[in-house]
Structures are given as C-alpha cells and as structure tokens.
Structure 1
C-alpha cells in the first residue's frame, strides 16, 4: 500500500496508508488530514489541495495543473503540486508539506 506523509502547517506529521490507484488528496480527505480542503473534489478546478513535495516521486505536473498552480493565492514554489493530481502506485512513498494557506 502507498504511504503518504503529510507535514501540517503547524509542524505535526501525519502518515496515512492509501489505496493504490487513488490520489494523495483522496488519502488526506478520507483520513481527515487537516489542511487539505479539496473543495472541487479533485477535478483540478480550485487549488485547495495544494502541497509542497518534499520527497518521493510523484511525476511531473501537467500543463493544466501548472495553470491552476499559477492561479493560487498562496505561495507557489518549484515543488508545488496539487495533491488531487498525485496518483499513488502500490510502492509510492511520498512526503508532502501542507501550506498554511490554501487556494
């Protein structure tokens, strides 16, 4: 099972197991990880699941994801991703930091 470690804005660390084939956003929402709002439910329309990839391979963002990241009100960094676009394979191990401000 994939493991996703979230570093919350207050510094707490939460690690969750997810279903292979799901997304990091879905893992966070279904396991009540605070800070991932996911207002659009993962349809790449809101930016409220923004994270910073700290470690692990989660692929490159698509052009549509980059466009949404460019529209964020929070700080975009080179390692910014939308957790709804991070697909989890069976062997995924990824660490994501959640910014204090979403959207």
Structure 2
C-alpha cells in the first residue's frame, strides 16, 4: 500500500492508504476525499480530478499524455505541476505522495 496525502485548498489533509495498481483518483474516491468528483469515472474525459502534484514527486508520477494535456484545457488554474489524478497509477514508489486540490474543486 502507498500512503497518499490529499490536501484540500483550505489546508485540510486526508492521508489514505491506496493499493498499488489503482489510480490516485480511485484512491480519493474509495476513501471519500472531497474535491475529486471524477465525473467520467477515470476515462480521461473530464477534468474533475485535477490535482497539483507536490514538486518533489513530479519525476516519480511521470509525464502527461497528449490526451491528459488536452483535458487539462478544461481545468481551472492549471499550473506546471497540474495532473489528472485518474492518469497517475499508484505504485509502491509513490508511497508518501502529496497532491493538492484546486480551490475550484471544493
């Protein structure tokens, strides 16, 4: 299991254990983390699972795909560290990952 910390825009933290193989989005949904709606169910067809990856973790979460880049056009306040959490697969190497939720998703 990988411990992932989701931080809401107001600073509230939700540290949860997520099984490898799931996405960061699925970890949030299964643990009732507010701010990740995942309207498309993880199909990379919306931007309601937008997160900001903590800079220390950018290299470990991988690059954005072309489709993910396209969908981020629909997200608000996109930054260099923006990702769709449905596109980040949890591995043991992501134990300790920190993601922040944008204010627009509260």
Shorter chain as normaliser: what TM range? over 0.9
Answer whether contact 1:4 1:15 (CA < 8 A) is retained.
yes
Distance 1:21 1:2 in 2: 10
Task: Describe how 1:50-89 pairs up with structure 2 within 5 A.
Answer: 50-54=50-54, 55-56=56-57, 57-72=60-75, 74-89=76-91
Tell me the TM-score normalised to structure 2 length: 0.90
Give the Cα–Cα distance (whole angstroms) in 2 for the partners of residues 76 and 9 of structure 1: 14
Query: Which residue in the other structure is 1:39 paired with?
Result: 39
- Which runs of 5 or more structure 1 residues have no equivalent in the other structure? none
The size of the alignment, in residue pairs, is 101
Deviation (angstroms), 1:12: 0.7
Runs of 4+ in 1 over 4 A off after TM superposition: none
Higher helix share goes to which structure? 2
CA shift, 1:90, in A, is 2.1
Q: Counterpart in 1 of 2:99?
A: 96
Counterparts of 2:88 and 2:15, CA distance in 1: 16
Query: Contact 2:6–2:98 at 8 Å: present in 1 too?
Result: yes
For 2:74 and 2:101, the matched residues in 1 are separated by 17
Q: How does the TM-score come out when normalised to structure 1? A: 0.93
SS of the equivalent of 1:15 reads strand
**For residues 49 and 31 of structure 1, what CA distance do their matches in structure 2 show?**
14
